[in-house]
């Protein structure tokens, strides 16, 4: 639960069993909302079924919740992806929707850099990149950074294009020196960095408990 957002997660191997239990829980949620004198926006109520991409459904669950305005149970729309804390999560966890979304955002910043580079110094262009593009690449990277290489390559190409614009470089120039000179990490290296930082925090018990409990320590001992 968040200030203006509520999500329910339930896992089951059987779709019919999942449908029955989730509908029961939504009845309890409606009772709690009513007792708390709260209402839920009917337009924002929906659900998504997470499953492997190769798995085909033989049954489509019907999830319903009571709507005060219509005074009846209303079926919730089944979505292919949802937005959760600013990250688009698709039903097969491919992260394609989220990567496509931030690709559009970063493309606009790259276009801005290409227009401004004739009028502002290099350090200003780097600051524009860090302010308008880098946050999209870093936010939630720990979860979507292991997506398919073909998806991530679109973002890496935008990174290279931005750096070539900043440095007035030829499109065929090797990008590694440009990354190094600007103090910017390629996307894949950034993913390794945030993963290493997370595992360091888990190892030293500085991470949130609900994340730390997902891992079990493995230690090697040697005799002298």
Instruction: Report yes or no: 147 and 99 within 8 Å, Cβ to Cβ.
Output: yes
**Pairing relationship of beta strands 77-78 and 46-47 according to DSSP bridges:** parallel
Quick one: three-class SS letters along the chain?
CECCECCCCCCCCCHHHHHHHHHHHHHHHHHHHHHCCCCCCHHHCEECCCCCCCCCCCCCCCCEEEECCCCEEEECEECCEEEECCEEEECCCCCHHHHHHHHHHHHHHHHHHHHHCCCCCHHHHHHHHHHHCHHHHHCCHHHHCCCCHHHHHHHHHHHHHHHHHHCCCCCCCCCHHHHHHHCCCCHHHHHHHHHHHHHHHHHCCCCCHHHHCCCCCCCCCCCC
- One digit per residue, the tens of pLDDT, for the chain of length 224 reads 666 677 888 999 899 999 999 999 999 988 998 898 887 777 778 899 998 877 778 888 999 988 887 888 889 999 999 988 899 999 999 999 999 999 999 999 999 999 999 999 999 999 999 999 999 999 999 999 999 999 999 999 999 999 999 999 998 889 999 999 999 999 999 999 999 999 999 988 898 888 888 888 776 655 55
133, 109 in Cβ contact below 8 A?
A: yes
Q: What is the pLDDT of residue 71?
A: 82
Q: CA–CA separation, 113 vs 124, rounded Å?
A: 10
Which residues, 6+ apart, have CB-to-CB distance to 158 below 8 Å? 103, 106, 107, 110, 133
- Quick one: pLDDT at residue 182? 95
> Which residue, chain included where needed, has tokens 């910043």?
109
**Interatomic CA distance for residues 198 and 207, integer angstroms:** 7
What local confidence, expressed as pLDDT, does residue 221 receive?
56
Beta strands 64-67; 77-78: pairing state:
unpaired
Half-sphere exposure of 130 (CA within 13 A, CB side): 11
d(CA 78, CA 49): 8
The confidence score (pLDDT) of residue 27 equals 92
Q: Domains of the chain: which residue ranges?
A: 15-79, 89-212
């Amino acid at each position: 639960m968040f200030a203006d957002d509520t999500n329910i997660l339930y896992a089951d191997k059987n779709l019919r069993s999942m449908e029955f239990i989730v509908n029961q829980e939504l009845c309890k949620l409606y009772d709690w909302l009513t007792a708390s004198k709260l209402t839920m926006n009917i337009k924002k109520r929906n659900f998504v079924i997470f499953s492997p991409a190769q798995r085909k459904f033989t049954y489509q669950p019907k999830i319903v919740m009571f709507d005060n305005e219509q005074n009846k149970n209303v079926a919730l729309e089944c979505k292919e992806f949802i937005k959760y804390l600013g990250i688009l999560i698709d039903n097969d966890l491919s992260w394609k929707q989220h990567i496509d979304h931030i690709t559009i955002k970063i493309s606009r910043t790259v276009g801005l850099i290409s227009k401004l580079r004739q009028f502002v110094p290099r350090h200003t262009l780097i600051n524009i990149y860090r302010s308008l593009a880098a946050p999209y690449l870093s936010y939630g990277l720990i979860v979507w950074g292991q997506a398919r290489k073909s998806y991530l390559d679109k973002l890496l190409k935008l990174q290279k294009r931005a750096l070539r614009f900043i440095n007035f470089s030829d499109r065929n120039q090797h990008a590694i020196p440009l990354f190094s000179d600007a103090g910017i990490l390629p996307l894949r290296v950034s993913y390794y960095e945030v993963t290493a930082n997370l595992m360091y925090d888990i190892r030293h018990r500085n991470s949130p408990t609900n994340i730390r409990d997902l891992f079990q320590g493995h230690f090697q001992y040697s005799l002298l």
